[in-house]
Structure 1
Amino acid sequence: MINVSDQHAPRSLIVTLYGAYGRFVPGPVPVAELIRLLAAVGVDAPSVRSSVSRLKRRGLLLPARTARGAAGYELSPEARQLLEDGNRRVYAAAPPEDEGWVLAVFSVPESERQKRHVLRSRLAGLGFGTAAPGVWIAPARLYEEARNSLRRLRLDRYVDLFRGEHLGFAATAEAVTRWWDLATIAKTHEAFLDRYAPVLREWERRADTPPEAAYRDYLLTLDSWRRLPYADPGLPAHLLPGDWPGTRSAAVFLELHERLRDAGAVFAGV
């Protein structure tokens, strides 16, 4: 089992909970149920309430009453879009070998220069690499999510998006080492493997899958994993170093997902 003393931010766990289970609940999730489900992963009630308040202020959770009149929270349309975009990353199959690229080219007036930092941070957070000053690059499949994100943040008027292919002069496998810090990305995958490969081995030794234990390990695994597909843009295998750890970390996550998700849903009441 995963050690709950390893810190997971309560706010992040609540988002992960809604992504895994909460959005499939008919109607809002009652506050009492949020407290029960977060207690299973080591989050106390005051932390749940304060984190929910922050998510409400950010416009991601909306207060609502259940059919029985209990206080609860449901996802805002913006939050649902974020989770749908995220699902394409979190559960993605192996990337195609030759899909081309999406380029984001931006120009921000000097009078609004603070938005340059916001733009750079958002593009980096989406997994874009830096091809040149003001020119960011990512695999073409990230176009839709980038478009949605930039519009949501009202940054789309500063950016032009293009699709294309890399024609040289350096080999593409060499160029991607300039566009992304592959060594740092590899370390994030190795850290995930160090923590969760033993969890998978432990579950493989078990014949049963108790719902509460499955829910607990699945939620913590997913909370750690869902950041990785944003740090790692998902480059084709032929552009990556041999024995790329991302292949192994994705396999560990997907095996834990297959083993634990549905059993965890029983504990989550979905």
Structure 2
Amino acid sequence: MDVVQPAVSRRRELGDASARSLLMTMLGEYVLPRGEPVWTSVLVDALAVFGVEEKSARQALARTAAEGWLAPERLGRRVRWALTPPGRRLLTEGAERIYDVGGECAWDGTWLVVLVSVPEARRDLRHRVRTRLSWAGFGSPEPGVWITPHAAREAEALGVLKELGLADDALSFTATHGALGSEAAMVTRAWDLSELAERYAAFIDAFTRPHPADGDAVLHAQTMLVHEWRRFPFLDPRLPAKLLPADWSGASAAALFHDRHAEWSPAALRRWAELTARHEPE
């Protein structure tokens, strides 16, 4: 059978943090659409397909529950897990972002600019600002300056800054690029598109060749396809074609993702249903 060898290393794949990340991928891809609780044994067996040991699988479940995304329900000696409302919301929003990456982006030349200052000493807060605004598609050409060609994301930025207690001192405005400097240079300073292109090329290389033939193989392939692709909403700002390099690899990677997902999804869902049925009480 064909086994996908993704960019992530085998050693990292087996770690506790990666077990939790794989668990989140499975919850979004298989548990969320079914809308039903899932037994611990199903998740443990599914993670075992990736070489995750039972102890790491159970630790991943415990951490995910502690973060508020899963709620346990004990039935006799067995436990099953249901997505909490915040968990469903998180995974639904994540799925929307995942499947939107690589789509066409119309643009009228308007930039949204957000100015937000965080003291150097508050490194944790600076990291949270960077993480949250990057997820929203913003780039930072200069410290404290965040830009995006998606002016409609102002409300999202406002929500992030309110949550972090920074909205009162922040500023936002829309503008077009002026005569000083070049728009291309500004984009290069705000986003590392060369590294992103390399990641897209690695994704294409990993998922062009596999043709999984049986249940576990297709479950592995589909899960890793989504698992690797779900990194890109954090990395890809979805810039308009005008701002991207020629022969942008992101378009080819997106086409491959959607083709493979449509091809493998029915068999992967059947395999998940088989695992679920196997662990149902008699």
Q: For the superposition of Structure 1 and Structure 2, which TM-score range results when normalised by the shorter chain?
A: 0.7 to 0.9
Q: Classify 1:259/1:106 alpha carbon distance in 2 versus 1 (closer, same or farther; 3 Å).
A: same
Match in the other structure for 1:16: 25
Deviation at 1:117, TM superposition (A): 3.1
Q: Structure 1 residue 196 and structure 2 residue 204: aligned?
A: no
State the Cα deviation string for residues 232-262 of structure 1 (Å, max 9, x = none).
Answer: 1111122111111111111111111010112
Q: Classify 1:111/1:189 alpha carbon distance in 2 versus 1 (closer, same or farther; 3 Å).
A: closer
Q: Secondary structure at the match of 2:148?
A: strand
1:112-131 paired onto structure 2 within 5 Å: 114-131=124-141
Quick check: 1:107–1:134 contact (8 Å CA) kept in 2? yes
Identify which of 90, 103, 113 aligns with 1:103: 113
Q: Structure 1 residue 242 and structure 2 residue 250: aligned?
A: no
Match in the other structure for 2:280: none
Quick check: 1:10–1:48 contact (8 Å CA) kept in 2? yes
1-structure distance, mates of 2:136, 2:117: 18
Q: Structure 1 residue 81 and structure 2 residue 96: aligned?
A: no
Q: Classify 1:137/1:59 alpha carbon distance in 2 versus 1 (closer, same or farther; 3 Å).
A: same
Match in the other structure for 2:220: 216
Read off the aligned partner of 2:82 and give its amino acid letter.
Answer: E
Deviation at 1:130, TM superposition (A): 0.4
State the Cα deviation string for residues 127-169 of structure 1 (Å, max 9, x = none).
Answer: 4210332121234265565556556x54464674746343323
Q: Secondary structure at the match of 1:91?
A: helix
Quick check: 1:166–1:172 contact (8 Å CA) kept in 2? no
TM-score, structure 1 length as denominator?
A: 0.83
Q: Structure 1 residue 56 and structure 2 residue 65: aligned?
A: yes
Q: Secondary structure at the match of 2:73?
A: strand
Match in the other structure for 1:2: 4
1-structure distance, mates of 2:169, 2:83: 28
Greater shift, 139-148 or 127-136, is seen at 139-148
Q: Classify 1:44/1:163 alpha carbon distance in 2 versus 1 (closer, same or farther; 3 Å).
A: farther
Q: Secondary structure at the match of 1:62?
A: strand
Q: Classify 1:131/1:111 alpha carbon distance in 2 versus 1 (closer, same or farther; 3 Å).
A: closer
Q: How many residues align?
A: 261
Q: Classify 1:163/1:192 alpha carbon distance in 2 versus 1 (closer, same or farther; 3 Å).
A: farther
How big is the alpha-carbon RMSD for the aligned residues of Structure 1 and Structure 2?
Answer: 2.9
1-structure distance, mates of 2:93, 2:239: 18
Q: Secondary structure at the match of 1:136?
A: strand
Quick check: 1:211–1:264 contact (8 Å CA) kept in 2? yes
1-structure distance, mates of 2:27, 2:217: 18
Quick check: 1:102–1:161 contact (8 Å CA) kept in 2? no
Deviation at 1:30, TM superposition (A): 1.0
State the Cα deviation string for residues 11-64 of structure 1 (Å, max 9, x = none).
Answer: 111000011011123332110111122122322211110111111222222222
Greater shift, 92-101 or 140-149, is seen at 140-149
Read off the aligned partner of 1:212 and give its amino acid letter.
Answer: D
Quick check: 1:128–1:136 contact (8 Å CA) kept in 2? yes
Q: Classify 1:40/1:147 alpha carbon distance in 2 versus 1 (closer, same or farther; 3 Å).
A: farther
